[in-house]
């Protein structure tokens, strides 16, 4: 597995799996993180994904694991910042694609960020939604 330009976009499902041992994908997420660390891969995400991740961890795991995400994971991330034009484009994507696919607005934002700002870099996600959008997804 080689990530172009040593860059990947990380989704909520990947972050959750990497911190929650009860998740089915915990071991795979750990292997991917180790690979990224060894290969100096830059992990990109958005504040939207961070918010979604913290909420999911707090609801499905616990407070301490959520704080661990803030303390240990967030500092290692490259957070993509964007203006309202991305949200407007994401609204268009959501309106167009969400009729036939189960797509969250956060996923629509991620799609726009990945395709318009990050040159279609690969994604680390255990969520089928990213693959259904035509994005390159690992594993």
Tens digits of per-residue pLDDT, 90-139?
Answer: 999 999 999 888 899 999 999 999 999 999 999 999 999 999 999 999 99
All domains of the chain in start order, with CATH = 7-131 (3.40.50.1010)
Look up residue 90 and give its two tokens: 């994401």
Percent of residues, the chain, with pLDDT higher than 70: 99
Helix (H, G, I), strand (E, B) or coil at 47: helix
How far apart CA 69 and CA 53 sit, in angstroms, is 9
* Sheet of 123-124, strands arranged across: 78-79, 42-45, 7-10, 123-124, 137-138
How long a stretch of residues is the chain? 139
Distance between first and last Cα of the chain: 9
């Amino acid at each position: 597995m080689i990530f172009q330009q040593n860059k990947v976009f990380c989704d909520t499902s990947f972050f959750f799996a990497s911190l929650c041992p009860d998740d089915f994908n915990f071991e795979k997420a750990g292997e991917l993180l180790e690979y990224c660390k060894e290969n100096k891969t830059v992990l990109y995400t958005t504040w939207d994904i961070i918010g979604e991740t913290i909420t999911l961890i707090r609801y499905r795991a616990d407070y301490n694991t959520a704080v661990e995400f803030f303390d240990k994971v967030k500092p290692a991330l490259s957070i993509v910042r964007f203006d309202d034009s991305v949200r407007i484009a994401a609204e268009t994507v959501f309106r167009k694609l969400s009729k036939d696919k189960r797509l969250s607005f956060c996923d629509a934002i991620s799609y726009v960020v990945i395709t318009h700002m990050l040159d279609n870099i690969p994604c680390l996600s255990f969520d089928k939604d990213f693959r259904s959008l035509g994005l390159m997804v690992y594993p």
